Amino acid sequence: MPRELCLSIGQHSDKGRKETNQDFHGALIPDAPLSVTKGIAVVLADGISSSEVSRVAAESAVKSFLTDYYCTSEAWTVKSSAQRVIAATNSWLHAQTRRGRAPYDSDKGYVCTLSAIVFKSTGAHIFHIGDCRVYRVAGTTLEQLTEDHRVVISSAESYLGRALGVNPQVEIDYRAVPLDPGDVFVLATDGVYEYVSRRAMVETIAAHASDLDAAAREIVQAAYERGSPDNLTVQIIRVDALPDAEAGDFLRAAELPLPPLLEARAEFDGYRIVREIHGSSRSHIYLATDIASGEVAVLKTPSIDLRGDAAYLRRFLMEEWVARRIDSPHVLKPKALSRRRNALYVVMEFVDGQTLTQWMIDNPRPDLETVRKIVEQVADGLTAFHRKEMLHQDLRPDNILIDATGTARIIDFGAVRVAGVAEAVPGDAGDILGTVQYTAPEYFLGSGGSERSDLYSLGVIAYQMLTGRLPFGAAGARAHTRSQQRKLKYRPAAREDRDIPAWVDGALRKAVHPDPAGRYEALSAFVFDLRHPDPAYRPASVPLIERDPVRFWQTVSLALACVVAVLSIMLFAAR
């Protein structure tokens, strides 16, 4: 069996010599699949001694992190999820102070420090505000992984330079470190680390390797005996095992048998097959009816040729997972599951329409407004992916459906990159999963994609709808080096037989720029420029040789013919 991430955690907190304990701490090990998609969280907060309500702040900060973090989308990265949760907590604490007895005195408000570690896959993600510390055992001492946000005025006077609840916004330190089996992390408040040496903490942890709670209690007791006047809290985390390469595959398909090739009128897992819609080396797609409800659905089964490819099967099962997390009228929806599935397949809604590829064949000369409307809808669908930190990575005419009402829907999510899942399963990062004619050039350089990569694909599609060709011809698919990409020549969309404004051509040119930095920053900017003339895209700004190469060379040829004729006349006259 593949190993999973396994941690041992020990914790202890005591009020020490103070009347109340204003520290608060917690850890949460969720069940699968959240343990894989979101990880294991350990959190420590320390309230400030000058405030009577700081314990409430510390408790709220820890509880909200352990609750709200696991409510964020599994598609988001750890960094995005945690920072959004911490920022929301900070805003709430600051608002509570403003509604309290001393609205403008942060020393008496809902203020605390916060340090948290999220262990996910083979990495630890550290978030920090204030003067609690996060350490990692390094030999016989502790390596400090966080920076104290404390401003020192003198040896006897200092104050917190950064804490939760002080201001409406908060700056959060973030650091990611790789994990190895046997790594030990320690979170401690200042009441502990200022009175117990790092070497002593390491020795105590080693002496109680089988009982980390006992180690935490002994460290807290040592700090108390050495005169610490503050609250005392320690958390100890040991990495016992890391996941194998495939252990992160919480969507593993091994438990489900692979379906056979299906035929019309066959009954399969509660569905009656009507006909095959599409078959390729990547998948088989069937129109089917639910025998129980009579509803029409689309069944997608894995390719026969790729059933031994574990990475392919992982991506195949990801399709439904992705679809269930996207809510957009321009993204194909999965069907609700009404019964247990007995084989590996995906069930999606049926859309009575045609692919954009077929639509372009049927409409070889669409008007500009029709193209705009399709581009806007596809851009809306892509935006829904990007908001969930997903990249489609295989946007092409075959993966866009147009129904009878003209509504466009993005389909086929087998190449989608989900940032949050990629942290847990980093296997396919360097693969080119899209169709080369529509794949952004940066993928060929191995640098990975971004939202601008999906924008490139949409730009190519928009260009193709208007012109019937590709912006760089066949050369775009063959440019696999930076040098070759620099030599790519954009073929202007404006032609004698098509009335395409120069400013629209300028928007297309920018959308398909070979360098991501030369493209639009956002899909919305591209969509806007397709409807609103940009002064930068004046006709004169594009040389004739690029706007219309045929006319350019015709003009040059005519000029040369005139020169030859004049020279011939002069030569004849000279005789």
For CATH 3.30.200.20, the residue range(s) in the chain are 267-349
pLDDT at 2: 47
| 30 prior amide bond cis, ω within 30 | no
pLDDT for 448 equals 81
Can you name the residues that pair with 137 across neighbouring β-strands? 142
Give the per-residue pLDDT at 1. 39
Q: Where are the alpha helices (DSSP H) in 99-232?
A: 190-193, 198-207, 212-225
* Distance of alpha carbon 22 from alpha carbon 435, whole angstroms: 57
Instruction: Say if residues 524 and 379 touch (Cβ distance below 8 Å).
Output: yes
**281, 306 in Cβ contact below 8 A?**
yes
Does the CA dihedral 471-477-479-482 come out positive or negative?
Answer: positive
For the entire predicted model, the pTM comes to: 0.66
Instruction: Supply the pLDDT for residue 250.
Output: 43
The Cα 549–Cα 495 span in angstroms is 10
Q: Which of 68, 16, 24, 20 is nearest to 44 (CA)?
A: 24
Q: And the tokens for 518?
A: 């030369």
Q: Are residues 173 and 133 in contact, defined by beta-carbon separation less than 8 angstroms? A: no
Per-residue pLDDT of the chain (575 residues; tens, 9 = 90+): 346 899 999 999 999 999 999 999 999 999 877 888 899 999 999 998 888 889 999 999 999 999 999 988 777 889 999 999 999 999 999 999 888 777 777 778 999 999 999 999 889 999 999 999 999 999 899 999 999 998 877 666 777 889 999 999 999 999 999 999 999 999 999 999 999 999 999 999 999 999 999 999 999 999 999 999 999 999 999 999 998 644 444 444 445 788 889 999 999 999 999 999 988 778 899 999 999 999 999 999 988 888 777 778 877 877 887 888 888 999 999 887 777 788 889 899 999 999 999 999 999 999 999 999 999 999 999 999 999 889 999 999 999 999 999 999 999 888 888 877 666 555 555 566 668 899 999 998 887 889 999 999 999 999 999 999 999 998 888 888 999 999 999 999 876 567 889 999 999 999 999 999 999 999 999 999 999 998 877 654 556 666 567 777 888 888 888 888 888 888 777 76
Closest CA to 523 of 406, 364, 410, 365: 410
- The amino acid occupying position 560 is L
With tokens 């005789």, the residue in question is 575
pLDDT in the model for residue 563: 85
- Beta strand extents in 310-391 (DSSP E only): 346-349, 353-355, 390-391
Determine which helix (DSSP H) or strand (DSSP E) holds 357, and give its type and residue range.
Answer: helix 356-362
- Tell me what pLDDT residue 254 has: 43
* Whether 521 contacts 456, CB under 8 Å: no
**463: closest CA among 374, 384, 332?**
374
Query: In the sheet where 232-241 sits, what is the strand order?
Result: 6-14, 232-241, 184-188, 133-138, 141-144
**Exposed/middle/buried for residue 229 (C-beta within 10 Å: 0-12, 13-18, 19+):** exposed
d(CA 493, CA 177): 48
Encoded amino acid at 109, one letter: G
pLDDT for 128: 97
**Rg (alpha carbons) of the chain, rounded to whole number:** 31
Question: How far is the CA of 59 from the CAs of 112, 145, 239, in angstroms?
Answer: 9, 23, 26
* φ/ψ (deg, to 5) at 11: -145, 150
Which residue is listed with tokens 């297309």?
Answer: 508
CA proximity to 422, closest of 300, 322, 346, 308: 322
Fold of 353-542: Transferase(Phosphotransferase); domain 1 (1.10.510)
The β-bridge partners of 158 are 152
Q: What is the CATH number of domain 6-241?
A: 3.60.40.10
* 103 token code pair: 């609205």
| Cα 119 from Cα 133, distance rounded (Å) | 17
CA–CA separation, 126 and 293 (whole Å): 50
Instruction: Give dist(CA 184, CA 145) in Å, integer.
Output: 12
Largest CA distance in the chain: 119
Range(s) within the chain of domains with CATH label 3.60.40.10: 6-241
Q: The tokens of 546 are what?
A: 């690029």
Specify whether the CB–CB gap between 351 and 401 falls below 8 A. yes
Nearest-CA neighbor of 73 among 104, 38, 102, 44? 38
Spatial separation of the C-alpha atoms in residues 33 and 573, rounded to whole Å: 93
Nearest to 436 by CA among 400, 474, 398, 463: 474
Query: Candidates 3.40.50.980, 3.30.200.20, 3.40.50.150, 3.40.50.300; correct CATH number of 267-349?
Result: 3.30.200.20
Residue ranges matching CATH 1.10.510.10 in the chain: 353-542
